[in-house]
Structure 1
Amino acid sequence: MGGSFFELLTSSDFYKNTKVGDISGSFRWAPFLALQNSDTFLTMLLLLSKYRMKSLPVVDLGEGKIENIITQSAVVHMLAECAGLHWFESWGTKKLLELGLPIMKPDRIVKVSEDEPVLNAFQMMRKKGIGGLPVVDESGKNPVGNISIRDVQYLLTAPDIYKEYRSISVKNFLTAVRNYLEKNQEVSPMLRGVITCKRDDTIKDIILKLDSEKIHRIYVVNEENNLEGVITLRDIISKLVHEPHGYFGDFFDGVVPLPQNSRV
């Protein structure tokens, strides 16, 4: 069934005729925001945190080429590599509570029940403009999994999921994805289940866990395993920087925050 879907997709006029230029303008900073080698480290960190960029191309305007791409994950990996350095150990021993993490209050967490249709989860992520959310049990308190916007690919590539994509629950979706990954011997954080931490963990603990597990978010739970918050790569980076007044001038005026009716 999954194979027939791709045959249908690749044979359609939409697939054949749509050009990159037709969709590139849908990005709010078309074609993209880029860095140059002369830009400061502060600029990079601010764009990856406060200004919600997940990745930044580094361009050489003289040569007209992209030299590299810096991601949030790369910055957190760099921090993990700093373990043992005096400045990092001094900052890294601070507990989450001392740094004001998690930022979001428990009653503001966007989550999905494991019994809900998985399409609800993807629609919720799209509506809220978030990259992932926790899956909770029937009590609505205990996290039992994580689902990210990238996982939508399995609705198309995994045959057992695609044929039931309109009705499959989040719980059955996660089970089917794990079976698919194991069958195809693919490595994925989804095979390890939900990854959590406690409020009295240190920021160093969180950075090392995010880096080693290759994940973009970690869920904060209490002693009863009740969900209390979420910490993302962006949250970590934001604790490293402060934007000086007028640093970007009026460049972002009218752009951040994103309008409610935006399709980006």
Structure 2
Amino acid sequence: MQESPRSTVSSPEAKLGLKVEDLWDVQEPQLSPSEKLNSCFESIPVSAFPPAPSSQVVEINSDSSLDEAVQMLSKHKILSAPVRNVEAPEDASWIDRYIGIVEFAGIAVWLLHQSEAAAQMMSGSSSVGLVPGGSAATISSAALGTPAYAIASTAVAEAAGARASAAIGPGILGPEAAATMGGSFFEILTSSDFYKNTKVGDISGSFRWAPFLALQTSDTFLTMLLLLSKYRMKSLPVVDPGEGKIENIITQSAVVHMLAECVGLHWFETWGTRKLSELGLPVMKSNQLLKVHGDESVLQAFKLMRVKRVGGIPVVEGNGRKVIGNISIRDVQFLLTAPELYKDHRSITAKNFLTTVRKYLEEHQEASPLLRGPITCRKDNTLEEVILRLDTHKIHRIYVVDEDEHLEGVITLRDIISKVVHEPPGYFGDFFYGVVPLPKNSSV
């Protein structure tokens, strides 16, 4: 067998692939390829996974402000980071040292709650409770009923002043009103004291899409791959129980990069050379896809991601089948770190959001998937081709189109990983029952 150039490179990922190859060769011949792969990955501890770059093993203290968290995530170009509990005693176990994962997705949730709460306050919603002095005390439906949210929303409303009053009418939710206010809304938001002073720990009950879950160095690849696919984890910290600290962070992107480095190896080729249609991909078809039209508010895109718990959606035009771009939850950083970009926009539509961010990236000579048009593939492409494309372009999803470039579905990193392994009956027992809900046809 002739190996591809990628699999002959002495990268840690390629060496790991060769280890899987050795395990593959000694499997019982009567096992199916899927069973062989499960057995191989069950035999490898996660401690063997190549370490992430030091810039990606980032922790955020629970007393950091949301502003500091956004800046940290943006600086290191990462989607999320573990939150370290600064109040934990020095001799605390690793379980007590971390209170969760803070991510752009969670901060977007927070942002939208604040804008909705501010809108209700300015429109005189009855859900706002008052305490002596006339300040808002609770916002039960819009702000999860916590004083911290109420105080934050009061600050938004008061800071926005007359502009907010004019932009927000009765029955209009915050995202729509904020879009009408344009970039001034985000300038007000990011310059406010509550945004700079609200601590990550203050919203620890709301920013997690899933519980904080770490792997121990002795856990297996099979466990890791199942958590990153079926159980919807975006990244997994790996802790050394003896040291009580995070040794590595394994992301979906890192796993797909490992797979890309294994092109040409026998175990990879058994399924990597099959066409997408043969593997039941895309899982998420066009009529199931969330979409945002180019002339809709970009906040509508982020709101859809929040409500439906997905990591990105396509921007479409015309009849909704032509993809002109992709907006991911990571891109909310451009609303929070550079709000001045939108001050001349009366309404921040999805299309002008893409145009403005691309111009900003070009001027600052920053590399980003947003600089390219949407990356697409066809149903007759092989899984190997899609893996290489995702890895090369450093993207989390690829859109499937037909010969007329009409949208037919989407394939995510999670979809790719889910084709590598399957969960044996009773593997996790009832550990995840009621903890990590799995929406029907979920694809993030």
Task: Say yes or no: TM over 0.5.
Answer: yes
Paired with 1:220 and 1:58, the residues of 2 have a C-alpha distance of 34
Query: Counterpart amino acid of 2:367?
Result: V
Q: 1:25 to 1:230 in 2, by over 3 A?
A: same
Tell me the residue number matched to 1:15: 196
Q: 1:152 to 1:8 in 2, by over 3 A?
A: closer
Query: Counterpart amino acid of 2:218?
Result: S
Query: Counterpart amino acid of 1:114?
Result: G
My pick for the range that moved more, 135-144 or 53-62, is: 135-144
The alpha carbon displacement at 1:181 in A equals 0.4
Contact 2:226 2:423 in 1 (8 A): yes
1:56-95, Cα deviation, whole Å (9 max, x unpaired): 0000111111000000000000000001111112211100
Q: 1:13 to 1:219 in 2, by over 3 A?
A: closer
1:140 aligns with 2:320: yes
Runs (5+) with no aligned partner, structure 2:
1-181, 440-444
1:123 aligns with 2:306: no
Tell me the residue number matched to 1:101: 281
1:200-229, Cα deviation, whole Å (9 max, x unpaired): 000000000000000000000000111000
Question: How many residues are paired up?
Answer: 257
Q: 1:28 to 1:214 in 2, by over 3 A?
A: closer
The alpha carbon displacement at 1:156 in A equals 2.8
Query: Counterpart amino acid of 1:15?
Result: K
Tell me the residue number matched to 1:180: 360
1:87 aligns with 2:247: no
My pick for the range that moved more, 120-129 or 215-224, is: 120-129
1:109-136, Cα deviation, whole Å (9 max, x unpaired): 1111111111111111111111101111
The alpha carbon displacement at 1:13 in A equals 4.5
By relative contact order (CA 8 Å, sep 6+), the higher-ranking structure is 1
SS in 1 for 2:215: coil
Contact 1:80 1:208 in 2 (8 A): yes
Tell me the residue number matched to 1:235: 415
Paired with 1:179 and 1:130, the residues of 2 have a C-alpha distance of 26
| Structure having the higher Rg | 2
Contact 1:50 1:238 in 2 (8 A): yes
Q: Pick one of 247, 250, 260 that aligns with 2:430.
A: 250
1:46 aligns with 2:226: yes
Contact 2:213 2:236 in 1 (8 A): yes
> What is the RMSD computed on CA atoms of the aligned residues?
2.3
Paired with 2:345 and 2:328, the residues of 1 have a C-alpha distance of 16
Q: 1:219 to 1:28 in 2, by over 3 A?
A: closer
Contact 2:186 2:335 in 1 (8 A): no
Contact 1:2 1:158 in 2 (8 A): no
Q: Pick one of 329, 341, 352 that aligns with 1:149.
A: 329
Query: Counterpart amino acid of 1:242?
Result: H
The alpha carbon displacement at 1:19 in A equals 3.4
The alpha carbon displacement at 1:11 in A equals 5.9
1:200 aligns with 2:380: yes
The alpha carbon displacement at 1:240 in A equals 0.8
Paired with 1:93 and 1:238, the residues of 2 have a C-alpha distance of 16
Q: Percent identity?
A: 70
Paired with 2:320 and 2:192, the residues of 1 have a C-alpha distance of 43
Paired with 1:173 and 1:14, the residues of 2 have a C-alpha distance of 22
Query: Counterpart amino acid of 1:122?
Result: F
Contact 2:189 2:195 in 1 (8 A): no
